[in-house]
Amino acid sequence: MNGPAPAQAVSTHRDDALGEQSWQSLGAWSVPSEPGNERVALAQVAAALTNLDLPPDRLHGLNTAVAEATMNAIEHGNQNRPDLPVAIQVLVCATALRVRIIDQGAGPAIPSTTTPDLMAKLAGRQTPRGWGLFLIKSLVDDLQISSTEGQRTIDLMLYREGAEHDGPAPWGERARRA
């Protein structure tokens, strides 16, 4: 396992929902693809976010999403092979927070997120699995999935309330609309 990298890198990145942004790295590291290392990733992400003063409900939701996405990367992407690391990056800009989780992509393609049907699962018409992406998507403001040859990336996004963006509403606004 590698420790957190220095958090000084700044890059400009184009994102459809955010436009041109300067992203600052709050940390980057990797964990071996072994069950349980999602807890290591979660602790490292939480440590990287300590100075952001996120509201507790947003932090808790993001922590759960990070753990679930890291477990998926370990199990499905890297097929529990300790020699294949899962990379984690924490990035922040003026309008958003991004936690990026990257696996080596040897597993099956990441399916689109669909709402699981509990009754169909209980009746055996759907696999009992398949809750992970649904859970992750419900805990963050935006979920972005991309794949390249031999690598898959999941970006977990939280938007700052009141920030201008073209993506989904921030957590606070979404809760008020419900």
The DSSP-derived string for 101-155 is EEE---SPPPPPP----HHHHHTTSS-S---HHHHHHHHSSEEEEEEETTEEEEE
How many helices and strands (H and E) does the chain possess? 5, 6
Res 163: pLDDT: 56
Per-residue pLDDT, 3: 43
pTM of the predicted model over 0.85? no
> Is it the case that residue 178 has pLDDT exceeding 60?
no
Tens of pLDDT, residue by residue over 4-16, are 333 333 333 445 5
- In the chain the domains, ranked by start, together with CATH numbers, are 10-177 (3.30.565.10)
- pLDDT tens digit sequence for 36-92: 999 999 999 999 999 988 889 999 999 999 999 999 999 988 999 999 999 999 999
Token pair for residue 17?
A: 């929902």
Residue 168 has pLDDT above 80, yes or no: no
1 versus 52: the higher-pLDDT residue is 52
More confident residue, 127 or 50: 50
CA–CA gap between residue 63 and residue 50 (Å, rounded):
12
Q: Identity (one letter) of the amino acid at 28?
A: A
- The two structure tokens encoding residue 76: 């499905």
